[in-house]
Structure formats: structure tokens, C-alpha cells
Amino acid sequence: MAEINFEGRVAVVTGAGGGLGRSHALLLASRGARVVVNDLGGSRDGSGAGSEMADQVVQEIADNGGEAIANYASVAEPDAAKSMIDDAIEAFGKVDIIINNAGILRDTSFKNLTPDALDIVLKVHLYGAFYVTMAAWEHLRDNNFGRIVNTTSGSGLYGNFGQANYSAAKAGLVGLTRTLALEGQKYNITANAIAPVAASRLTEDIMPPEMLENLAPEYVSPLVAYLVSDECTDTANVYSLGGGYYSRTALVEGAGVGFDHIPTIEEIAHRWDEIGDLSKGNELRGVAEQTGQIIEVMTRLNA
């Protein structure tokens, strides 16, 4: 198989000063992409700021013969997010690839969750992906090419104790990804999401060191790089990955139960196990398929 490269492509990677973002940026640059390395330079709870983290990654890329510029803006503000796209176009003439990776944690039980802790996590993870992608969208459409990868999480797919704010933000990114995929299809824009498990500032104290040693961010980046390549046209997918494991994950709906009348509560209870049975489930790819399955059962019952 011919080597996949990114010559002529321009990528914006948010939260690229360390961890997963740094790994993505270094890999893309090593294969010829010109990269905007965005990082606010703050702590993992979103406080503080600085230029050192982004500058170090830019220097690493330059030392390896690649091209990159730094951007220190916060993804949580629309004008700041737009500056990343403006910088890409000013420096490199266009933008092709968006990897929304920036993230913070404000973990707490739901009982202790404050509006401020909810607001900042939603802004960085969910609004940030919106703002950066919104700023790039017209450019991608005009160029009839775009590759978008959003970073969701197992917490977003399945929930996690003490992470109501983070889980909600990450779940929202799945809905955003699928809608971008639908709206971008006619413009050769793909959108996919990853749910990675990797060693980073966000996981350094919630996993044992021996596990983190086997979860290097570099395991995640090859799949991300393939998703943003010209060669990959798959879209609207979510991938679970980490430590050398890679798998697509999907929403599944069971065969379901149909009534030819408005059921009583007791009738629902009587058939509860059937309603919850996923053994004959199917992957549904969109709202139309979900609605279609309902209409099919209705039609059969009323024939």
C-alpha cells in the first residue's frame, strides 16, 4: 500500500500543546501537513494561560523538518476560535483539517456540581468544537474538501460517576459529528469522532502508572490521521481506541414491540423484557432510519 501523506494539506489541532493533540500534530506534520498548533497553555481545569506548550510543539515540528505555527487562543470564545482559522489562512493559504481535541476537567458529583463548573466544561469541549468548526466551515465548503475529527469519550457514550458536565459535553459532540457528516457530504467534508483512552494530563491521576505506560497517545494518532486523509471517505462514525485497540462503536436499536392500540401501563410492563431486548438489534445510521423502523411496525400492525 502506498504511504499516506498530507502534502499540501493544512491542519488545525486544538489542545495540541501536549498529550493527544501534540501526538496528532507531530504525526501529521511528519507526513507533510502544515499545522496550526493551538493551545491555551492553561492547567487541566482550564485556569491560567501561556505560550510555552504550543511553542514547544512548533519547535519539535520545525526540528523534524516540518512546518507549523502556534496559536494560543481559547476555543471557548467564538472570536478566539476564529483566530485559529484566520492564522491558518494567513500563514498557509487555506484550511483542510480540523481536529477538535482541546479539553479540561471539572469533575465533581452531580450533587456538588455548580453552574460555573458546568458552563466552562461545556464551553471548552462542546462549544469549542462548534466555534472552531463554524469558523472553518465556509472555507471547507468553498474548497470542496474537509476532514473533521471530534474527540468524544467513553464518559459521553456511557456516562461516568462524577462527570455529569464532561459526559454531557462529550455526548453532545457525537450529535454534532453526525450532523456535520450529513451536511458536509455533498461538499466532500467528512466528520467522525473518537473515544480514546490514553495517557494525558486528564487521566494521569485516575489510572495506575503501569496502565498509563501502555496507553501512549501515539497509539491513537494513526487512526485519527487516517480519518483526516484524502484516502478515507468514511463519515459519521465513532471509534473506540487506545493502547493498540481500535473499533467502531455504534447506536443499536432492538427489534422492538408493536401495539395496534394505545397500550396500558400494565401491557408495557408485561412486555418490558421484549422492549429491552437487543439480541436482534440493528445499527441505525440516522433519524430517517429510526423513524422508518417505527413506521414499518405501525404499517404492519394496521394492515
Q: Give me the active site residues, please.
A: 166
Element at 169 (helix H, strand E)? helix 164-184
What 3-state class would DSSP assign to 257? coil
C-alpha to C-alpha distance for 80 and 87, rounded to whole angstroms:
11
265 class by beta-carbon count within 10 Å (0-12 exposed, 13-18 middle, 19+ buried): exposed
Any bridge partners for residue 163, and if so which?
A: 108
Residue 76 exposure: Cα atoms within 13 Å on the Cβ side = 16
* 49 φψ region: left (φ > 0), alpha (ψ -120 to 50), beta (else): beta
d(C-alpha 101, C-alpha 146), whole Å: 17
Q: What are phi and psi of 92, to 5 degrees?
A: -125, -5
Answer for the pair 201, 16: CB distance below 8 angstroms, yes or no: no
